[in-house]
Amino acid sequence: MMRRTCLVVWLTVVTGCGGAWEVEKVIGIGAPPELVWNVLADLERYPEWNSYSPKAIGKLEVGEIVRIEAHLGDEVRHVDNVVLEVDPPRTLCWQSQNWYGVLVRGTRCRYLEDGPNRATQFRHYEIMEGALAGVVEWIYRPRVEKGLEMMNADLKTWVEMGVKRDSE
């Protein structure tokens, strides 16, 4: 592990890879923001619908820690995040807080906006910043993009199935 860390730091210094990179994935969900928020904010039920982050433990209160199990392809990562913003039913943001936070940190926000016909425009946004951001982008960007797409699709399916079930 130490060799890998040294290699990453060396690559960053030599290549000048740092700065920041962003990912945003947007999806329309056929339900009002309040219903989408209820699913998004219920961390205990993530295993029922969220294939990207099937485990989330913590409190959605500013300053609290939420521990996420992220499935990045074949790799599983456990990330502690400090909650930055909770504004039901509109905004949920947190920032990674693991040991490497001094070198790279990710801030992830979900925005729930009014769409047509009482639907929700769900925006999932992440920015990676820090000295190792370029290296993290090189290693993880495709997997992070796919993960955000998976979570968005899972959320849409779960919420819309619930709306359909409730209307029957």
CATH number, domain of 71, equals: 3.30.530.20
Q: Under a CB-based contact definition with an 8 Å cutoff, are residues 93 and 109 in contact?
A: yes
So what's the pLDDT on residue 46? 97
3 in a domain, yes or no? no
Number of domains in the chain: 1
- Mean per-residue pLDDT, 93-119: 90
Helix (H) or strand (E) holding 71: strand 65-72
Which residues span the domain enclosing 95?
A: 18-167
Closest listed residue to residue 49, CA positions, set 144, 168, 152: 152
- DSSP code per residue over 88-146: TTTEEEEEE-SGGGGT-EEEEEEEEEE-GGG-EEEEEEEEEESTTHHHHHHHHHHHHHH
8, part of any domain = no
Residue 7 covered by a domain: no
pLDDT (0 to 100) of residue 2: 52
Structure tokens at 37: 């928020």
Q: What is the pLDDT of residues 10-62, one digit of tens each?
A: 555 555 556 999 999 999 999 999 999 999 999 999 999 999 999 999 999 99
Query: Do the domain assignments include residue 11?
Result: no
Which pTM value belongs to this model? 0.85
- What's the N-to-C CA distance of the chain in angstroms? 54
Residue 113 covered by a domain: yes
Quick one: DSSP state of residue 61? Answer: S
Both structure tokens of 87: 């504004």
Taking residue 127's Cβ as centre, other Cβ atoms within 10 Å add up to 16
Sign of CA dihedral 41, 85, 55, 144: positive
Whether residue 2 is contained in a domain is answered as no
Q: What is the pLDDT of residues 59-90, one digit of tens each?
A: 999 999 999 999 998 999 999 999 999 999 99
Backbone phi, psi, residue 90, to 5°: -115, -40
1, part of any domain: no
Which of 106, 138, 136, 140 is CA-nearest to residue 124? 106
Query: Is 35 inside a domain boundary?
Result: yes
Tokens of 157: 């399916």
